[in-house]
Structure 1
Amino acid sequence: MASPSSDQRARLIQLIHIGATELGMDDDSYRQMLANIPQLEGARSVAKLSVPKLNIVLEHLKAKGFVVVPKTANPQRKLADDPQSKLIRHLWLSLHTAKKVRDPSEQALAKYVARLTKVDQLQWLDGRQAAVVIESLKSWLER
């Protein structure tokens, strides 16, 4: 089992590499940045750095504009709440109640919408696309 410090070390190295990528650094500029941090004493790689030195590198990247986004950030989008989206959701749930749809989830609805319109989220539908989905769901419900 990995120790907490090795887990922390691996996480810091991962964040440093993500930060360098997001800042658009190529390998040469990344290694030069490392060499220019006085506390690293000329190191050109993070592979053998201690946790405190890795924190110094991460803080250096943050000073250059890298923003760490916590894993706990909720990547889910807010549900569309416009009238057409509400109607689409209502029809979808009605199909589930009528046992014509097995999975009533928002993800299943999004897959159905994407299959019809090539648009992945209800929020992104324009009026014409929403009308296509609504009419499709209505005719499915009538069958």
Structure 2
Amino acid sequence: MGERVVTVLPELRRRRAAPVDPKVALMRAIMAACKRQGVDNETRRAAQKRITGKNSMTDMTVAELIRLRDHFNRGWNGPKSQRPHVGKIRALWWSLYWIGAIERVDDEALNAFVKRQAHIQHINFLDHRGAMPVIEGLKAWLEREGVMWWSAEQLAGVVATGAMTSAGTPFSQAEADRHAVLSQLAARLDDAGLMNRLALYSWIGNAVGRPTLNQWTFSASELDQALRALGKKYRAHLAKEQRL
């Protein structure tokens, strides 16, 4: 056998990556911002036309694209958990659902309400100031449904007792608001023959695994757990009624 000949190929030169067109990079950043904030294509195009006067991003200058990018990033202040007004709005919206006042809790329905109240296309674009008319509108709606929000005097009365929640925090407006919604939900369940409203807090204690004689010690998290459980119970009742 002849000697094996090994041919060594010359090392291929690495090609340098072509520089990214700044307009392409900006368009990608805009699309990413829209995706992150839940802005659909129709809303994005409307914003493009309003801000730059142009329908297509490909027709825009770099300066116009920067302006558009900054617009879509302006409403983003970090994760929703760091934006308490967004959480507040969603909690009130869900409260309307649990008591049977609305049928949809998806973002499309919520954003339609946000647009009517604040003239903002999407909840994620709301800052604290813009959130106020939305929050007040939702609380007024819940009040029309029978929710009795606590007065400042009622809240001060409980706070004056030194009440502490199981989370180790003083009783506050956050807990008071949840108690108000739970009271209305219990009343509706009582009217439907599904529970005794006077036994609400006994029921909550058993549901969260912490029976107590002091209802003011329930934390916001425990009250949320109770809202979901009782809300599902009431929604199931409403669904059954509709089938009859």
TM-score w.r.t. structure 2 length? 0.28
Structure whose CA Rg is larger: 2
TM-score w.r.t. structure 1 length? 0.46
